[in-house]
């Protein structure tokens, strides 16, 4: 592990280390955090530990600049949500906020470090045409795509092509599912919607489902460069929703994952979040009683052979290191994980056809 990466993860697990870091170490840590796009998450973690105000002035200045950007994007997100609430009012409030929009609407500490880039909404497939029509009628516009990409979004993906209002800068991603349509093994969106609670004029998911969706997004639907940031989302969500009883919350997470899907991504998220970030997902390890432990191992434990190769690939490719070009082993690890990412989104035959089409398009463009 690169020293900057090790220092970043150690600082996350033990925030009081921040009070003893030298300026050169801070330069390495902040550089790694910015490359992983998680400087805002680090700021939240240090703020929760009460150490931000005790840091050297130059370091505080770095975090203040991050805070200004977060606040600016949060204001944009509030304006977008107000406009979306008005435009989608005919749907009767049956629109679920996802990810950053949901975190901000609930006032979770996590939102204070997320730099919003888009707004993710979920409606049922039956309501999708009406929702799209309402947004287009209110001024949102879809980007122009060729016939293949249009079909990809509408038949094989889990969302429509991104929409953007010409008067504002945030994209709107309108989902009809929580995982790509061809992926399989994702969350049951109907079960998520059934347990959602109202937060006018929208809905937000049950806390367990928010954590599960974060895990699914990290390990089935996120490019490699975003994995550490997604794991930090996972960590902060568990800390916010788990409260004073992380054991009970963790047990509830497992049961919910086995009920609505997402068990495999949750296993991986829990494995790396606990190892890298010290996430308190306590019940995933040792439930009381020998019989209970045996049952949990059968239902939950990651097979050792899969853990062996995933540990090596994840450590080599998903952690920020130096600015320079990654070494050959890290490049190979990224290639293999990228292949896994695409394989989870499409069955092999469709994936080969998709890659052939995209390769041909690139050659024609050149």
Q: Does the pLDDT of residue 148 top 50, yes or no?
A: yes
Q: Is residue 357 part of a domain?
A: no
pLDDT of residue 300: 59
Average pLDDT, stretch 199-222?
A: 89
Neighbours of 30 (CB within 10 A): 18
For the residues of 313-351, what is the DSSP string, one character each?
A: HHHHHSS---SSPPPHHHHHHHHHHHHHHHHHHS-HHHH
Q: Is residue 366 part of a domain?
A: no
Residue with tokens 């070009």: 325
Least confidently predicted of 109-118, 226-235, 259-268, 314-323? 314-323
Q: Does the pLDDT of residue 36 top 90, yes or no?
A: no
**Furthest-apart CA atoms within the chain: distance in Å:** 63
How many domains is the chain built from? Answer: 1
pLDDT of residue 297: 55
- Calculate ∠ Cα 133-157-186, nearest 5°: 115
Q: Is residue 56 part of a domain?
A: yes
Q: Average per-residue pLDDT in the chain?
A: 83
Q: Does the pLDDT of residue 335 top 80, yes or no?
A: no
Alpha-carbon span 214 to 232, nearest angstrom: 10
Q: Is residue 350 part of a domain?
A: no
Q: Give 82's pLDDT tier (boundaries 50, 70, 90).
A: very high
198: helix, strand or coil: strand
pLDDT of residue 285: 47
Tell me whether strands 141-142 and 163-164 are parallel, antiparallel or unpaired: antiparallel
Instruction: Pick the more confident residue, 117 or 123.
Output: 123
For 237-266, write each residue's pLDDT tens digit: 999 998 778 888 988 898 899 899 888 888
Least confidently predicted of 191-205, 236-250, 338-352? 338-352
Instruction: Pick the more confident residue, 301 or 171.
Output: 171
Q: Is residue 355 part of a domain?
A: no
Q: Is residue 360 part of a domain?
A: no
pLDDT of residue 103: 95
Q: Give 224's pLDDT tier (boundaries 50, 70, 90).
A: low
Q: Express the helix, strand and coil content of the chain in percent, nearest 5 each.
A: 65, 5, 25
Give the structural domain span for 265.
3-345
Q: Is residue 148 part of a domain?
A: yes
Measured in residues, the chain has a length of 366
pTM of the model: 0.86
Instruction: Pick the more confident residue, 247 or 47.
Output: 47
What values do phi and psi take at 174, rounded to 5? -100, 110
Judge contact between 79 and 172, C-beta under 8 A.
Answer: no
Average pLDDT, stretch 86-93?
A: 94
Alpha-carbon span 223 to 342, nearest angstrom: 10
Helices (H) and strands (E) in the chain, counts: 16, 7
- Give the percent of the chain with pLDDT over 90: 45
How far is the CA of 43 from the CAs of 2, 152, 206, 281, 358, in angstroms?
21, 38, 26, 22, 39
Q: Is residue 358 part of a domain?
A: no
pLDDT of residue 87: 96
Q: Pick the closest to residue 140 from 170, 164, 157 (CA basis).
A: 164
Q: 117: cis peptide before it, omega within 30°? A: no
């Amino acid at each position: 592990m690169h020293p900057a990466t090790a220092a970043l993860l150690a600082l996350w697990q033990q925030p009081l280390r921040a009070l003893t870091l030298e300026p050169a170490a801070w330069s390495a840590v902040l550089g790694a955090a910015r490359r992983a796009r998680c400087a805002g998450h680090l700021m939240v973690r240090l703020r929760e530990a009460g150490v931000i105000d005790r840091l050297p002035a130059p370091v505080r200045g770095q975090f203040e600049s991050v805070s200004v950007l977060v606040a600016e994007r949060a204001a944009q997100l509030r304006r977008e949500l107000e406009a979306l609430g008005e435009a989608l009012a005919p749907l009767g409030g049956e629109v679920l906020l996802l990810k950053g929009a949901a975190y901000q609407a609930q006032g979770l500490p996590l939102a204070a470090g997320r730099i919003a880039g888009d707004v993710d909404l979920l409606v049922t497939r039956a309501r999708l045409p009406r929702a799209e029509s309402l947004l287009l009628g209110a001024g949102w516009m879809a980007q122009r795509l060729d016939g293949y990409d249009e079909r990809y979004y509408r038949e094989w993906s889990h969302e429509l092509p991104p929409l953007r209002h010409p008067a504002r800068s945030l994209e709107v991603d309108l989902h009809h599912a929580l995982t790509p349509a061809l992926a399989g093994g994702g969350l049951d969106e109907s079960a998520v919607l059934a347990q959602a609670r109202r937060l006018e004029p929208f809905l937000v998911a049950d806390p367990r489902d928010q954590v599960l969706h974060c895990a699914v997004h990290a390990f089935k639907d996120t490019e490699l460069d975003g994995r550490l940031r997604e794991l930090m989302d996972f960590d902060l969500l568990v800390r916010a929703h788990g409260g004073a009883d992380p054991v009970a919350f963790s047990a509830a997470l497992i049961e919910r994952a086995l009920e609505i899907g997402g068990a495999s991504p949750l296993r991986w998220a829990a494995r790396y979040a606990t190892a890298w970030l010290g996430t308190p997902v306590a019940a995933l390890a040792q439930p009381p009683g020998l019989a209970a432990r045996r049952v949990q191992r059968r239902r939950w434990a990651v097979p050792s052979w899969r853990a062996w190769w995933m540990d090596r690939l994840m450590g080599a490719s998903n952690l920020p290191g130096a600015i320079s070009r990654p070494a050959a082993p890290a490049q190979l690890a990224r290639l293999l994980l990228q292949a896994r990412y695409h394989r989870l989104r499409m069955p092999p035959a469709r994936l080969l056809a998709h890659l052939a089409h995209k390769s041909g398009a690139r050659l024609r463009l050149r």
